[in-house]
Structure 1
Amino acid sequence: MFNQKKAITHPASFLRKLARFTLMALLLCRIEWSIAAVADAMDRPAIASNLGAHSALMSVASVGDHYIAVGERGLILRSDAEGKNWQQRPSPVSVTLTGVSFTDEHNGYAIGHGGIVLRTTNGGEAWQVQLDGRTLAENLLLEAEKSNDQEAIQQANFLLSDGPDKPFLDVLVLEREHLVVVGAYGLAFESEDGGQTWTSWMERIENPFGLHLYSIRKQGERILIAGEQGFVALSMDDGQSFETIETPYGGSFFTAQLLGQSDIVLAGLRGNTLLSNDNGQHWKIIKNPIGSSIMASFIHSNGQVVMANQAGTLLGLKENRLVPLTRKRLPPLTAMLEKVNGSVLALSINGPVSIDVGDFK
């Protein structure tokens, strides 16, 4: 006999299923829209704006007698020697740019979302696209098919099908034509011809879960890569091979520094900072009075490691502790460098900030 009770769906159950279905549909639409939005921004020049110097900026480089900063919506800004007056420069893309680095006063590279790599040969006045996420995946697939590397073929097909929305997060420029870029989902690539062709470093780095790579640093033949969930990889042979380094912290490291022959400094989520004096064999936990994520660091000309956090504070590394160097409350900081007079040019979510911190004594 037909059981009517089993055949009837309870209204509340039906509504829950409908809600789940609607949520999944919205999420899929949002993902597809996000990929499409990134792809569109990759092909669209940045919009001219008078608000560049008050926008979120992500990276800055010293170029001769001026500075070049990059940030959201494809912004590229140039300043004078003091870092006070900023003017926008044409950018061929509207994706967020996350890093910029120069080898000399003419030649430099910028990286960003959508697998974008830009190059300039005239000090940042004009930029050309050297790589984007679509081209990267297509070239990887061609190389993998030539070598019949099934794992590489699978990886390239995934990148193609998943869309060109993955950002590069740091760039290491070694020479005028030689650079390495790292980013989300374990992306790591090298170019020795100014970005015309690329070689994957991903098979050299043991990162099976595709953890994001936030920072890459070089000192001598040591190359350090740091990322999410405590991921750290160290090369002692100029990047030919990497060893995964265990750390006592499982959160993300957003910045790192290499000192001397064997010292490593890592810093990141919630202000967690670690120091090793033996290339990662042993670690010391650095005391930090501010539990805010550290987003950037650099080595001052006096040898001190200086860090910037999301609480808008500069911190100096002194022995086994971090000491605040600034008292004035600033916006969340994203990047910084040392100016000629020893003060700091910092970037924030509200634009550039000049910080006079004296001699860091």
Structure 2
Amino acid sequence: MSYKNTTETSVTVVNFWRKLGRYTIMALLLCRIDGAVSAVADAIERPAIESHLVEHSVLMAASYAGSHLIAVGERGLILRSDDDGKSWQQQPSPVSVTLTGVDFSDEKNGYAIGHGGIVLRTVNGGAEWKVQLDGRTLAQNLLQKAEASKDEEAIYQAKLLVSDGPDKPFLDMLLLGPDHLIVVGAYGLALETKDGGKTWVSWIDRIQNYFGLHLYSIRKQADRILIAGEQGFVAFSTDNGQTFATLETPYEGSFFTAQLLGDSEIVLAGLRGNTFISDDNGADWKNIKNPISASILASFINANGQVIMANQAGILLGLTENRLVPLTRKRLPPLTNILEKTNGSVLALSVNGPVSIDVGDLK
């Protein structure tokens, strides 16, 4: 066989697998990860193990509960700080799956989300947590509603969720009140509860995510809700989430974080540091210059209205005049999330635990 024929054959094989589709490939892979699924199933029922290394563990999110800080991370870790992040104490957690998000509506009421379709709730400021939803319950609920609606496609998809087991993580959350929560996650999962997790309504049929792309970020400003995910997918609502349109974006890579500014500005950031801004609700986009090509995983809008971002290179970036400017003098461990503290400094979460960055450390 000639080199040309070998090359053509290789290209044909690659194109075949691309056309075969990501879900067929995933189905083949799932046949070989029964052990991993079982491990997740066990972890959603097993309390987190106490550890003396919690301040050096991977943390994924943090939030204020009144004057206290609550952080969550790997192996179901829940940490509390009563001195604004100087020291941390582990709190009891009913699960051992990685927790990816946490937020509080007030000093008492809060939620945490994570792998295995887990949603936890606390009503006493994070001292105790109870499971409000897990992947098994989620799949069964979706199947029951699909069968009641007699929607054959919905029934088929729900049965897949049931057979897969509780292996799909929630990746971001939007807390709108003590009892009102929206969660998004892998394979297009999007759910809402208005009664503190007693009942859930699926948003999957509102979002035109036909390939089940992962949803990484959800943000709200007034009646605008934006959901960003993999392969450049962005769903946008201007009626408080009742309906969504799919925005055309200039990048086919994943967007891990987003922000809504003013009445019509959208900021998207993600894989390899790619960042874009629109000042007309996504009709047109401008590329934001970024001197660092590391993926941006998190962002917030500070008290001055500036967008602050964190990347896997361990650097904080500030959005200034359509460009990103490094804000930290020294490189930190790879960052997973950031939170503005009450004194204007930054709590940076990393693969090596929490790091407090004082205002004097910012340029």
User: Structure 1's 28 and 203: CA in aligned 2 closer, same or farther, altered over 3 A?
Assistant: closer
Q: What does residue 98 of structure 1 align with?
A: 100
Output the CA distance in 1 between the equivalents of 2:159 and 2:86: 46
Q: What does residue 332 of structure 2 align with?
A: 330
Q: What does residue 23 of structure 2 align with?
A: none
Secondary structure of the residue aligned to 2:148 is helix
Output the CA distance in 1 between the equivalents of 2:29 and 2:195: 40
Deviation at 1:130, TM superposition (A): 0.2
Aligned match of 2:237 in 235, 238, 245?
235
User: Structure 1's 284 and 28: CA in aligned 2 closer, same or farther, altered over 3 A?
Assistant: closer
User: Structure 1's 68 and 150: CA in aligned 2 closer, same or farther, altered over 3 A?
Assistant: same
Q: Does 2:30 align with 1:42?
A: no
Output the CA distance in 2 between the equivalents of 1:204 and 1:184: 16
Secondary structure of the residue aligned to 1:203 is helix
1:141-220 to structure 2, matched below 5 A, reads 141-220=143-222
Deviation at 1:291, TM superposition (A): 0.3
Contact 1:265 1:273 in 2 (8 A): yes
User: Structure 1's 142 and 125: CA in aligned 2 closer, same or farther, altered over 3 A?
Assistant: same
Deviation at 1:360, TM superposition (A): 6.3
Output the CA distance in 2 between the equivalents of 1:156 and 1:199: 14
User: Structure 1's 141 and 79: CA in aligned 2 closer, same or farther, altered over 3 A?
Assistant: same
The percentage of counterpart residues that share the same residue type is 75
Question: Could you tell me which amino acid in structure 2 is paired with residue 196 of structure 1?
Answer: K
The one-character-per-residue Cα deviations of 1:29-83 (angstroms, maximum 9, x if unpaired) are 7410010000000110000111111000000001111100000000000012320
Contact 1:297 1:308 in 2 (8 A): yes
Deviation at 1:293, TM superposition (A): 0.3
Contact 2:219 2:258 in 1 (8 A): yes
Question: TM (normalized to structure 1)?
Answer: 0.91
- Let me know the Cα RMSD of the aligned residues: 1.5
1:1-361 to structure 2, matched below 5 A, reads 30-358=32-360
Output the CA distance in 2 between the equivalents of 1:29 and 1:202: 25
Highest CA radius of gyration, 1 or 2? 1
Question: Could you tell me which amino acid in structure 2 is paired with residue 75 of structure 1?
Answer: L
The one-character-per-residue Cα deviations of 1:183-239 (angstroms, maximum 9, x if unpaired) are 000000001110111110000000010000000000000000000000001000000
Output the CA distance in 2 between the equivalents of 1:113 and 1:203: 22
Deviation at 1:357, TM superposition (A): 3.5
Secondary structure of the residue aligned to 1:180 is strand
The one-character-per-residue Cα deviations of 1:238-295 (angstroms, maximum 9, x if unpaired) are 0000000011111000000000000000000000000000000000000000000000
User: Structure 1's 61 and 28: CA in aligned 2 closer, same or farther, altered over 3 A?
Assistant: closer
Question: Could you tell me which amino acid in structure 1 is paired with residue 105 of structure 2?
Answer: T
Output the CA distance in 2 between the equivalents of 1:311 and 1:352: 15
Output the CA distance in 1 between the equivalents of 2:142 and 2:70: 31
Output the CA distance in 2 between the equivalents of 1:266 and 1:131: 29
Equivalent pairs, count: 337
Q: Which runs of 5+ in 2 are unaligned?
A: 1-27
Question: Could you tell me which amino acid in structure 2 is paired with residue 123 of structure 1?
Answer: G
Question: Could you tell me which amino acid in structure 2 is paired with residue 281 of structure 1?
Answer: A
Output the CA distance in 2 between the equivalents of 1:244 and 1:174: 23
Moved more, 148-157 or 99-108: 148-157
